[in-house]
Structure 1
């Protein structure tokens, strides 16, 4: 696969992933789709790893990779597609950092568990905290421990599913950005391998 086609494939793959991460992060801010729990969210939710790291940060490398798969800024000859490949190379570095940030934050979130309340009470009698963090056995493998969290309802499942999505997509984005970094470097050095007349606009 030539550098241009590879860039286009990476760019078109990163674009939907970025939007999925942004949606997942927004859902984390509203447990069970309700706004009344926003005062009791895990720190990792507010770090916006999905919205920023694997979301908005990923739009730039995605768009640059797609553009790198098009016709070069100087057309045939002069520099081929090297100019766009160089931009894609630089943006892939930032994309890789953003996705790595998402992976680290998501992994920490899954390790610590959600912020939850041990009872149905509010005010001073409420017991909010990371109650699943200090257990002898990881709450991820001990589903019975999920019952400790009374409020928000089903917060543990909500937390695990959405942060697992961010972790998985973040890791995949990191791999794609790393591959695009190598692909762009080859493109800068060697130019676009596509033949004349087959360049995509």
Structure 2
């Protein structure tokens, strides 16, 4: 497989992951599927860091767009374009790592919820043992099922960002090969 074709394949795989990251981060703003928690400021702190929107979303999207262009014929589909795609792929790795870090911290600290009639983060200092202790989740009375909600979405963000890191890292290697050996786009004409 030529490096240009590989770049297009990587970019095509990154696009849905970017969309998934952005959607997960946006949905995290509405625990219990209700807007009142956003209005009242009762949102888990790590959601406000926008790891899925900025890191796994915009930074990886910028990378994916250039990686896609480096796989096409034209101004970016050459050796220099592949070299620049290495830089953009590294930007994608950085964005995905940011998304992963924020999601991991959010998962570790647990959600902001009403616990014993006080808004707090009750699992923050539990060393993530709350993840296995389903009985403790019932202490969060509001928003409804917020622990499951946060675990599901932060877990999805972590998985998505892991895939983004892998794909962008593969593009770094692919871009280096494309820079040294050429993109193979000239063979597409034959």
Task: Name the TM tier (shorter chain).
Answer: over 0.9
Alignment gaps of 5+ in structure 2: none
> Would you say the 8 A contact 1:92–1:181 is kept in 2?
yes
If each structure's helix is expressed as a fraction of its own residues, which one has the higher value? 2
Q: 2:160 aligns with which of 166, 169, 188?
A: 169
In the alignment, is residue 139 of structure 1 matched against residue 133 of structure 2? no
- Measured in 1, the distance between the counterparts of 2:179 and 2:28 equals 40
Name the residue aligned to 1:114. 111
**TM-score using structure 2 length:** 0.92
**TM-score using structure 1 length:** 0.87
Alignment gaps of 5+ in structure 1: 75-79, 120-125
- Measured in 1, the distance between the counterparts of 2:126 and 2:183 equals 55
Name the residue aligned to 1:122. none
> Would you say the 8 A contact 1:73–1:83 is kept in 2?
no
- Measured in 2, the distance between the counterparts of 1:145 and 1:114 equals 12
- Return structure 1 stretches of 4+ with deviation > 2 angstroms: 133-137, 193-196
Measured on the aligned residues, the alpha-carbon RMSD in Å equals: 1.8
Name the residue aligned to 2:67. 65
- Measured in 2, the distance between the counterparts of 1:167 and 1:137 equals 15
Name the residue aligned to 1:13. 13
- Measured in 2, the distance between the counterparts of 1:137 and 1:89 equals 36
1:2-24 deviation digits (Å, cap 9, x = unpaired): 21111011000001100110010
Q: Which of the pair has more CA radius of gyration? A: 1
